[in-house]
Amino acid sequence: MSFVVGLTGGIGSGKSAAAAEFERLGASVVDTDAIAHALTAAGGAAMGEIRKRFGAEILAASGALDRDKMRARVFADPAAKKALEALLHPLIREESRRLIAGARGPYVIHVVPLLVESPDYRSRVDRVLVIDAPEALQVERVRSRSGLSESEVRAILAAQATRAERLAAADDVIENRGTIEVLREQVAALHRKYLEYGQAAQ
């Protein structure tokens, strides 16, 4: 039975950078965003139902889900958001379960952006690790990588748990407001701790 750390944080907090560093140190990483991308890629397991429910106009030329169009649709229409979640979330949960069961690392980092908002995920991890960053820095990071406007990024932030809610749910916190070296030092310290927990859980 793997020891599972749920890694979460708001958009632009640095979840991917932290997860990549844990993976480099030997942890198994199971990322719900990566699973969602695979499900909604061209030929992905969810695409038939998505096309049936939302129509061909939300497909990219490749046959994958056009994420920008779908983001605009679900922000404008709460019913569409519910329908998409009802379709994708069970598939993501099932694939997460399968990957965790097959993980070979000393412990698992389970990346779940909406972990605090999802009691089902909270019950499936042994510890919660929050990657934290000031909101202004989150907005700056997301804008620089995505081309979204400040108001669009703030709308995404507003739909997520607040910083205070995430920190209240945290067992461990990485403050990611500095350089990649500072992030790596914090990951390395937690890695040593999680190795001990992983050994104790076996």
Tokens at residue 26, please? 């030997």
* Regions of the chain short of the pLDDT cut 50: none
Residue 32 falls inside a structural domain: no
End-to-end C-alpha distance for the chain, whole angstroms: 7
Shared domain for 202 and 110, answered yes or no, is yes
Which residue range is the domain that position 168 belongs to?
Answer: 1-27+106-202
- The domain boundary residue, chosen from 79, 104, 129: 104
β-pairing verdict for 108-111 and 172-175: unpaired
Shared domain for 55 and 84, answered yes or no, is yes
Q: What is the pLDDT of residue 71?
A: 85
Residue 33 falls inside a structural domain: no
Shared domain for 67 and 142, answered yes or no, is no
Q: What is the pLDDT of residue 3?
A: 96
Q: What is the pLDDT of residue 158?
A: 87
Q: What is the pLDDT of residue 68?
A: 86
For 2, list phi and psi in degrees, rounded to 5: -75, 145
Please indicate, yes or no, whether the overall pTM of this predicted structure exceeds 0.95. Answer: no
Shared domain for 110 and 202, answered yes or no, is yes
- The domain boundary residue, chosen from 54, 89, 104: 104
Shared domain for 76 and 121, answered yes or no, is no
For 69-81, how does the pLDDT look when each residue is reduced to its tens digit (9 = 90+)?
Answer: 998 898 888 899 8
Shared domain for 60 and 122, answered yes or no, is no
Q: What is the pLDDT of residue 39?
A: 96
- The per-residue DSSP string of 132-151 comes to E--HHHHHHHHHHHH---HH
Does residue 190 sit in helix, strand or coil? helix
Q: What is the pLDDT of residue 178?
A: 87
Please tell me the distance from the alpha carbon of residue 198 to that of residue 185, in angstroms, as a whole number: 20
- CATH number for position 14: 3.40.50.300
What's the domain count of the chain? 2
Shared domain for 122 and 189, answered yes or no, is yes
